[in-house]
Amino acid sequence: MSRTALTTVVLVVLVWTAMLSFGGVAAETVMLYPNIFGDPPASLDRAREFLVAGGPSDYFPPLGATVVLTSLVATVLTWREPRLRWWLAAAATVFTACEFLFSVVFFWPRNEIMFVDPVGTHAPEYLRQVAEEFVAGHRVRLVGGAVTSALAFTALLRWVRATAAVAAERVRVGRGARPSPDGGER
């Protein structure tokens, strides 16, 4: 597989996984969160009973790891393309900051309080406060996913346009020297 084809595949996988992650967070926001955080602590107890066989913690960590890994691979593969590198580096940075680091620092302790600590450990007022904080902080994750998806998609579009232009130029000049997307020759 050529480097161009490999880069294209990695960029498509990045866009696909970033959009799956963002779509999952958006769906979770409108379908699960009203049920989970609608009336704490009772709604938190119902969520514990409902989310037994699977839940967001089964879906998002492997998907997030895939987004991080593919964004890093895409950044490395396109580093010689200055018109792409910063889009991908920004996508990797935004996703890592908003989805991973923010989750570790902000969400994981609150998840522990709401869903891991034994029922009755915390006062109802405290659980309501923690649930409100969680929902408010969730907006960071939602915006981070949207920004990551937009950055990755922009990089993919720029890559496709650049490689299409290179292919057209190769056809025009005959299969001689291969111009690179930045206008030079390889």
Specify the pTM.
0.85
Exposed e or buried b for every residue in 98-111, given b needs 16+ CB within 10 A?
Answer: bbbebbeebbeeeb
Cα–Cα distance between 77 and 175 in angstroms, integer?
Answer: 24
Q: Which helix (H) or strand (E) holds 7?
A: helix 3-27
Q: Where are the alpha helices (H) located in 38-79, listed in sequence order? A: 42-50, 56-77
Token digits of residue 184: 């030079």
Token digits of residue 4: 């161009």
Q: What confidence tens digit (pLDDT) does each residue in 112-163 have?
A: 999 999 999 999 999 999 999 999 999 999 999 999 999 999 999 999 999 9
Q: What confidence tens digit (pLDDT) does each residue in 69-123 have?
A: 999 999 999 999 988 999 999 999 999 999 999 999 999 999 999 999 999 999 9
What is the model's pLDDT at position 55?
Answer: 86
